[in-house]
Structure 1
Amino acid sequence: MTYIPRFTRVYHPELAAKMEARVTLDTVSGCWNWTKGVNSDGYGYGLYFEGKQHRAHRCAYLVSMGDLPPTEFPIRHLCSNPACCRPDHLAVGTHAENADDTIKAGRRRSCRTPFAQRRERAAAMRQLGGRIEEIAARFNVSQSTARRAVRGQTWAQLPGARDAKPNGEHKRKLTKEDVRAIRASTETNKELATRYGVTAAAIHAVVARKSWRHVD
């Protein structure tokens, strides 16, 4: 008898049923492998939600968590298997972490153009934070390239650009007290963003401890 993977937590039943019919269990890795179309990077596709096509693993996250994270935060594969749709093999991360996952797994995204690679690198530099010198060294670019990307002088269409202080650290609107209150709140990210005058992505980063990690 073939084992059919089942979601234990379901927010979108119709989407869950479609996914369960299109995944199969890898008994060695425990992955739920997508059995339909995959792109050249190995990611499953072919599912629509509210009129928009999503990658299969993002649909799995949507089914089990109820909503997708802001676009600034990609969904990582902890198993390093892009075809996997198992919810506990997925986690929200940063572009920098996602890039590190790809490097560690030895995967190259051959279908990506240099433009797309530069775009992802710019997004990752903005999320990394810290000193410009450290960012430039991390991504093997000049300090001027890193500085322009972080400050939004290039790639202005990407979110997250901030003014940088002379020492390379970013200005922040939130205080430590704000951060503690946000993490203790039961309000939605959108409501908190309105309350504190920041973006929903910034609130998500605080709650997920992608920023302000030093604050308890």
Structure 2
Amino acid sequence: MYSDSTYVRVKDKLALFSDTSACWEWPMSKTRAGYGQLTYREDNSTKLAYAHRASFEIAKGPIPDGMCVCHTCDNPGCFNPSHLFIGSHQQNMADMASKGRTKKGKSYPIGDAHWAKGRRKEVQGSNNGNSKLEEADVIEILRSSEKNVRLAERFGVSQTIISMIKKRKVWAHVSPSV
């Protein structure tokens, strides 16, 4: 799946570790989610390779189409082949939910019960996994007369988000009740 040079680079990193029971933390670049990453060139473009997937292929063979490489250790930065197994996306999400690794420890339904099964709809407010704010924060922002720059610093979001909240372009479902 990846270039030969990618496998060579991952093999070089695998050679640095020997304790198969320990997590082998990817020592190079990582994605925002913490997965080990490296790039390679193919067809005059730069492609992204995931260290744990390349490590699995080196140690255990090809990954079937559409399958995920999952971590028994729940450490996205780990690329130890003995901590990796094959699973479907649904199995990976069920594993995550069963271990309480969803946002704020919430468990979300999977399979036919999952909200996206019938049609895709937006998850609003603090239930959205990408949300940095809670409904109470938005109410405070809406009521505040502070400058957007100060609110942005205080709540750890951009000034643009503060402005969009005040203009009711986002979080419009939250009412600043009196």
The TM-score, its normalising length taken from structure 1, stands at 0.41
The TM-score, its normalising length taken from structure 2, stands at 0.48
Name which one, 1 or 2, has greater alpha-carbon Rg: 2
